Amino acid sequence: MYKYVIRRLLLSVPVLLLSSLIVFGLMRVMPGDALTALMGESGNVSAKDLQKLRMDLGLDRPYYQQYGIWLWQMVSLNPGYSIFTNEPIPVALKKAIPVTLELAMLAIILGLTIAIPVGVLSATRQDTASDYVGRVVAVSGLSIPDFWLGTLVITFSAIWFHWIPPIGYVSLWDQPWKNLQQVLLPAAILGFRLSAATMRMTRSTVLEVLREDYVRTAWAKGLAGKVVVYKHALKNALIPVVTIVGGQLGVLLAGTVVVETIFALPGMGRLTVEAILYRDYPIVQTNVMLIAATLVTLNLVVDLTYAWLDPRIRYS
Amino acid sequence: MGVTALVAATGRGRVSAATPSSYPDWIPASTKPPKRGGVLNRASVWDPPVIDPRHTQSIGLFQFAGLTSSRLIRYAFPEEANSTNDVTLKGDLAESWQSNADHRVWTFKLRQGVKWQNLPPLNGRELVAADVKYCYEQYAKEGVQAFTFQEIEGMETPDKHTLRVHLKTPNTLFPQNVAESVTVIFPREVLEEDGDLKKRLIGTGPYILKEHTRKVRVVLQRNPDYYDKGRPYIDEYVILSTPDFATRKAAFRTGQSDILQVASLSEVEVVRKTNPSAVVQEYKNVLAPFGLALAQDKPPFNDVRVRRAISMAIDRQKQVDTVYEGHGIPGWGVPYFYYQDTAPTLKDLGQWWQYRPEVAKKLLAEAGHAKGFETTLFYYEYFPEMTSQVQIVQQDLKKNLNIDVKITKLDYTTYYGRYVDSKWDGMSWGFQSGHAVGLDERTYMYMHSKSTKNFFRVNDPVIDELTIKLRRTPDRAEQRAITKKIVDRELDQVLRMWMPYDAGFFLYQPHLRNMAALALRRTDGYGSPATTRTWLEK
């Protein structure tokens, strides 16, 4: 298994290198740079001054040099400074990552808490009212965009309950109760979306497994229904579910952009989008690489989970 | 409804073509004695990109920089002003100012006993004339304010509280330029210690910057050593970064935010359903900052007949009626109060600004484009209504002149970079900066052919001559006459093709007093120093 892990890790190097080239290239293809954004609407800067500022920031160097410098910064774990704010990138990330991490983890917990029981219920009560409700909820989760759901939730919370999550993010460690109020609702919105695909997959795979011989044997042995479903059927049904959850993590990270904007949370999504809009190259490049590395790692973790779920699986 | 009828319906002080709203555009100051204390909260769309006033003129910064820091001169606060358009200058750090005979040397007498905020490295030391001199020198050296301060040839400080400014050329309007909200005075010590002003914003203003967490909040705390004793009234002012409008609206509804800006009358009514006691103020525009900019140094737009034809083929009233729900101004560039007392109507803008497609067609044919032509238009969507306006213009030009306009919607950085580069062809949806209210900014800076702010690419010898003449004219009546000539010339030659605009309405929680939504004094934006006079009746 170790060999497998090492091989996968080595394979991730070209993937990350390719990602770095793509993000670097895309940022340069986009017209304008951080200085034009920074000087926004003033018009008081002469072309000469702008050129000097570009030189100071290294934006006038040939692209291959800029790429080389950045690559070295990434390898040496010193991604540099934000062009826009002059803040060291690790400092910006230290503030943003915990927000998104908390949001994503809560979303996964909430999503799975809803998806798996409802999926199992739908499967065990196929074509009953509860199955139809579960399927409608799942299809809604897949089809309702986050921005629309988020806007509805915040608007109707204000109108019906005269309450919305407190604006002005506080960390979990400083004010846990206030933080949970701020994060629960957006996490539920993200979780709802995540739960939809998972719910459908759980239903399908549980239905499939329930028709397997060994499950029929379990029923024939006179085992209790819960034991048959949760002990014998569910674990075997979970492999495709884990694959789906792994695949949904990318969607989840994309969803944080919208949800963080609506609920005014200062996470990675907002940091990245703002950096793209302002052409803050170092921040965008670092964030994209971080997300790429996270997804590569998560895919590996998902693959390794298979063996835990099904001991027959061997890595060689 | 015709333009005249609409104007008649709008009542006193309203701009043309506005649907009558029952909401006032002027909220008089409270007659009760102000109360001290409380916290003012505002969910804000703006987030300061950086807090170095040399490097940005973003409203994100200046929604509070004017509270932490003072200027030499300021505009009258709401309770000092006699009308919405009162542009009287008042002393901030300067108690008085005067120029020599040819308006090249300006002497400012500074207020004595003004202290920097009691934070290291200033520790409450007294502000002196050398501080202002140093600050202006730094502005001239680099950054977005260089153009304004490079006008200064030299400065001297004959004593601790006197600053003498020598300009390169005469300018009677110079005091207005140092009253602009972006000309805040920062301390030498911070710049020298940090190398920039990106980490600390320390000034002599009514509030101390207690916290600035990007994308989260700005917290301002009352400065107990502020020179204007007894002020400000509010203990803490919290600006919450809230990029989404639905969230800002929800924050207002639930009392998390004390101020809300909405775009239309229908939105006002929606919010008032849940918050009937909210105080509403109509935002009275004094200028339209957006319009169609043409590459007028190149064919076909270098032909005045083409510009006039395009202007006459665009139905501005349709934009006002449909996009702005009947509320808004057809558009003009120089604030009208600098040359006349009442807001101009669409009719007042002259023959080339009326919707007359047949005349437009004839003009275009005379210019040799009877069959129309193809062109491009790029824009950045500052607000959703703009996209509708761009599309209406496209339809009007196709229908009336057979001009095919290919529209490109850009993100802000791309748009801005291309627009200010001034090398584009065709058309752009242009702008003027939101902070500027001074006459010099609105004339010389934006229209003189040599100005770096001349984004509309105006290159007209008459305008050049008049804007320079205006700078040399101290008499107010003469200034008005010259300004009128500049505006008339601009409108006649269609040098900047203004489009309808509307900034909408403000809603305030009922416990706010002395708040304002005026171009010069809006509590939430570039006019933020007005918050010094705001108080809470709770």
Omega of the bond prior to B243 within 30 degrees of 0, cis?
no
In chain B, which residues have their Cβ closer than 8 Å to the Cβ of A81?
none
Q: Which sign does the torsion angle of CA A41, A46, A51, A54 carry?
A: negative
B58 contacts A155? CB cut-off 8 A:
no
Both tokens assigned to B471: 């700078």
For the residues A41-51, what does the mean pLDDT come to?
A: 62
Query: Higher model confidence: residue B510 or residue B518?
Result: B510
Residue type, B358: E
Q: Residue A271 — pLDDT band, cuts 50, 70, 90?
A: very high
Q: Which of A26-40, B53-67, B399-413 has the lowest mean pLDDT?
A: A26-40
Q: Residue B61 pLDDT more than 60?
A: yes
Arithmetic mean of pLDDT over chain A: 88
| B274 to chain A: closest CA residue | A159
Helices (H), B254-411: 265-274, 304-313, 316-318, 357-366, 384-401
CA-nearest of A316, A267, A281, A304 to A70 is A281
Q: Which of B178-192, B386-400, B442-456 has the lowest mean pLDDT?
A: B442-456
In chain B, which residues have their Cβ closer than 8 Å to the Cβ of A38?
49-50, 55-56
Q: Residue B1 pLDDT more than 50?
A: no
For the residues B160-172, what does the mean pLDDT come to?
A: 97
For the residues B239-245, what does the mean pLDDT come to?
A: 95
pLDDT, position A161: 96
B203, B205, B208, B212 alpha-carbon torsion, rounded to 10°: -70
Q: Residue B433 pLDDT more than 80?
A: no
B216 contacts A158? CB cut-off 8 A:
no
The nearest CA of chain B is from the CA of A27 a distance in Å of 12
Asked if A40 reaches chain B (Cβ–Cβ under 8 Å), the answer is yes
Please identify among residues 32-71 of chain B the ones whose CB lies closer than 8 Å to any CB of chain A.
Answer: 43, 49-50, 55-58
In chain A, which residues have their Cβ closer than 8 Å to the Cβ of B216?
168-169, 264, 266
Q: Residue B515 pLDDT more than 90?
A: no
Residue B48 CB partners (closer than 8 Å, separation 6+):
B56, B58, B60, B61, B63, B64, B212, B214, B218
Arithmetic mean of pLDDT over chain B: 91
Residue type, B363: L
pLDDT, position A305: 83
Please identify among residues 208-267 of chain B the ones whose CB lies closer than 8 Å to any CB of chain A.
Answer: 213-217, 238, 240-244, 246-247, 249-251, 253-254, 256-257
Report the distance separating Cα A192 and Cα A109, nearest Å.
11
Q: Residue A249 — pLDDT band, cuts 50, 70, 90?
A: confident
Q: Residue B520 — pLDDT band, cuts 50, 70, 90?
A: low
Condensed to tens digits (0 to 9), the pLDDT of residues A110-133 reads 999 989 999 999 999 999 999 999
Report the distance separating Cα B302 and Cα B367, nearest Å.
11
Asked if A86 reaches chain B (Cβ–Cβ under 8 Å), the answer is yes
Task: Answer whether B218's CB lies under 8 Å from B209's CB.
Answer: yes
Q: Which of A164-178, A270-284, B138-152 tops mean pLDDT?
A: A164-178
B413 contacts A37? CB cut-off 8 A:
yes
Residue type, A192: F
pLDDT, position A243: 83
pLDDT, position B421: 78
A44 contacts B452? CB cut-off 8 A:
yes
C-alpha R_g of chain B = 23
Condensed to tens digits (0 to 9), the pLDDT of residues B444-454 reads 999 999 988 88
Q: β-pairing, B94-99 with B105-110?
A: antiparallel
Q: What percent of chain A has pLDDT over 90?
A: 45
Task: Answer whether B419's CB lies under 8 Å from B408's CB.
Answer: no
Task: Answer whether A102's CB lies under 8 Å from A266's CB.
Answer: no
Residue B251 CB partners (closer than 8 Å, separation 6+):
A158, A164, A167, B43, B240, B242, B257, B260
Q: Residue A51 pLDDT more than 80?
A: no
A159 contacts B242? CB cut-off 8 A:
no
Asked if A29 reaches chain B (Cβ–Cβ under 8 Å), the answer is no
Both tokens assigned to B147: 């153009």
B464, B470, B471, B475 alpha-carbon torsion, rounded to 10°: 170
Report the distance separating Cα B68 and Cα A45, nearest Å.
25
**Max CA distance (Å), chain A:** 86
Condensed to tens digits (0 to 9), the pLDDT of residues B204-226 reads 999 999 999 989 999 999 999 99
Q: Residue A39 — pLDDT band, cuts 50, 70, 90?
A: low
Asked if B141 reaches chain A (Cβ–Cβ under 8 Å), the answer is no
Q: Is B213 helix (H, G, I), strand (E, B) or coil?
A: strand
Report the distance separating Cα A168 and Cα A171, nearest Å.
10
Residue A311 CB partners (closer than 8 Å, separation 6+):
none
Task: Answer whether B45's CB lies under 8 Å from B150's CB.
Answer: no
Report the distance separating Cα B359 and Cα B352, nearest Å.
10
How does DSSP classify residue B352? G
Q: Residue B179 — pLDDT band, cuts 50, 70, 90?
A: very high
Report the distance separating Cα A196 and Cα A135, nearest Å.
9
**Max CA distance (Å), chain B:** 71
The nearest CA of chain B is from the CA of A170 a distance in Å of 9
Q: Is A155 helix (H, G, I), strand (E, B) or coil?
A: helix
Q: Residue B467 — pLDDT band, cuts 50, 70, 90?
A: very high
B432, B471, B185, A33 alpha-carbon torsion, rounded to 10°: 30
CA-nearest of B322, B333, B124, B324 to B227 is B124
From the centroid of its chain, how far is CA A271? 14
What separation in angstroms does the CA of B515 have from each of A173, B29, B261, B523, B532?
37, 8, 13, 6, 10
Condensed to tens digits (0 to 9), the pLDDT of residues B131-142 reads 999 999 999 998
Q: Residue A45 — pLDDT band, cuts 50, 70, 90?
A: low
B434 contacts A43? CB cut-off 8 A:
no
Residue B422: Cβ-neighbour burial (10 angstroms; 0-12, 13-18, 19+): middle
Residue that the structure tokens 């043409």 belong to: B294
Q: Residue A294 pLDDT more than 60?
A: yes
pLDDT, position B69: 98
CA-nearest of B21, B34, B16 to B517 is B21
Q: Is A289 helix (H, G, I), strand (E, B) or coil?
A: helix
The nearest CA of chain B is from the CA of A253 a distance in Å of 18
pLDDT, position B376: 97
Q: Residue A311 — pLDDT band, cuts 50, 70, 90?
A: confident
Please identify among residues 422-451 of chain B the ones whose CB lies closer than 8 Å to any CB of chain A.
Answer: 431, 433-434
CA-nearest of B285, B286, B294 to B334 is B286
CA-nearest of B427, B421, B308 to B375 is B427
The nearest CA of chain B is from the CA of A205 a distance in Å of 40
In chain B, which residues have their Cβ closer than 8 Å to the Cβ of A279?
413
A154 contacts B216? CB cut-off 8 A:
no
Q: Residue A280 pLDDT more than 90?
A: no
Give percent helix, percent strand, percent coil of chain A, each to the nearest 5: 75, 0, 20
pLDDT, position B16: 38
This complex has an ipTM of 0.86
Q: Which of A43, A49, A158 sits opposite B433 (nearest CB)?
A: A43
Condensed to tens digits (0 to 9), the pLDDT of residues B350-381 reads 999 999 999 999 999 999 999 999 999 999 99
pTM of the model: 0.88
Asked if B183 reaches chain A (Cβ–Cβ under 8 Å), the answer is no
A46 contacts B274? CB cut-off 8 A:
no
Q: What percent of chain B has pLDDT over 90?
A: 71
CA-nearest of A92, A37, A76, A87 to A59 is A37
Q: Residue A22 — pLDDT band, cuts 50, 70, 90?
A: very high
Omega of the bond prior to B187 within 30 degrees of 0, cis?
no
First to last CA, chain A: 6
- Report the half-sphere exposure of A202 (CA within 13 A, side-chain side): 29
The nearest CA of chain A is from the CA of B159 a distance in Å of 31
Q: Residue B14 pLDDT more than 70?
A: no
